[in-house]
Amino acid sequence: MKKELKIKVCGMKFPDNMAAVSTLPVDMLGFIFYPPSKRYIGNILPKEGVRLFNTSKEKVGVFVNEKSEVIISFIKKFRLNSIQLHGDESPEYCRQLKSTGIKAVKAFRVNETFDFETTSAYLNTVDLFLFDTKAEQPGGTGEKFDWQVLENYHYSTPFLLSGGIQPEDTGEIKQISHPMLYGVDLNSGFEDEPGLKNIGKLEAFIKILKQ
């Protein structure tokens, strides 16, 4: 029997929308603490911070080359369960943060020539990897990489699949047989505008994926 994939919905920005997403069978909600992102939550935190993080789902803070003390302060302030490191963070930096007891995810930007041996230095420093589409700057492109290259990943750290996943991709995702595929990371393909998730699209996608 094939294992059930975890569902992460990233780029939550609006409290009411977050509450609606929380009613769905999702496992993780991502909150972006990277100022250049269209889904950056910093400008709404003072007023809506408490409501935005009021969920029983696993709360993932997404950071890019941030100072570790800043990340730790946000972990405490918003009771984050996990952190996702989406920049050029070193293995030692990841190890330092994980030693605080937080669950850690390290993102890698993947294209058809990506060398998965790059991930080996991080094997004991984080809990999960996330494979996203390579772009010039950190953050989502809304485009997919060639998922067949996942066959070149041979390590034991589980990974989330990210990068341009669309509502119609359930069939192709269900065909991925990689034993370390842990779940999918959903973002722009399920939005009405940056940060505002379309509940109907998410609900339909998750229902089909879990069949």
Would you say residue 3 has pLDDT above 80?
no
Mean pLDDT, residues 165-192 taken together: 96
Per residue in 158-169, pLDDT (tens digit) is: 999 999 999 999
Return the pLDDT at 57: 98
Strand partners, 29: 9, 59
Return the pLDDT at 1: 46
List the one residue out of 44, 168, 23, 20 whose CA is nearest residue 31. Answer: 44
Domain ranges of the chain: 6-209
List the one residue out of 17, 12, 28, 1 whose CA is nearest residue 206. Answer: 28
Residue of 10, 94, 169, 185 marked active site: 10
Per residue in 77-91, pLDDT (tens digit) is: 999 999 999 999 999
Active site residue 132: yes
CA distance 52 to 196: 13
Return the pLDDT at 42: 85
Per residue in 90-145, pLDDT (tens digit) is: 999 999 999 999 999 999 999 999 999 999 999 999 999 999 998 766 555 568 89
Active site residue 10: yes
Residue of 94, 115, 127, 132 marked active site: 132
Return the pLDDT at 177: 93
Q: What global pTM score does this model have?
A: 0.94
Return the pLDDT at 14: 94
Mean pLDDT, residues 174-203 taken together: 96
Return the pLDDT at 141: 59
Give me 58's structure tokens. Answer: 């696993």
Q: Which fold has domain 6-209?
A: TIM Barrel (3.20.20)
Q: What's the mean per-residue pLDDT of the chain?
A: 93
Per residue in 24-69, pLDDT (tens digit) is: 999 999 999 999 999 999 877 777 777 999 999 999 999 999 999 9
CA distance 139 to 108: 11
Would you say residue 23 has pLDDT above 60?
yes
Mean pLDDT, residues 191-209 taken together: 97
Phi, psi for residue 60 in degrees, rounded to 5: -110, 120
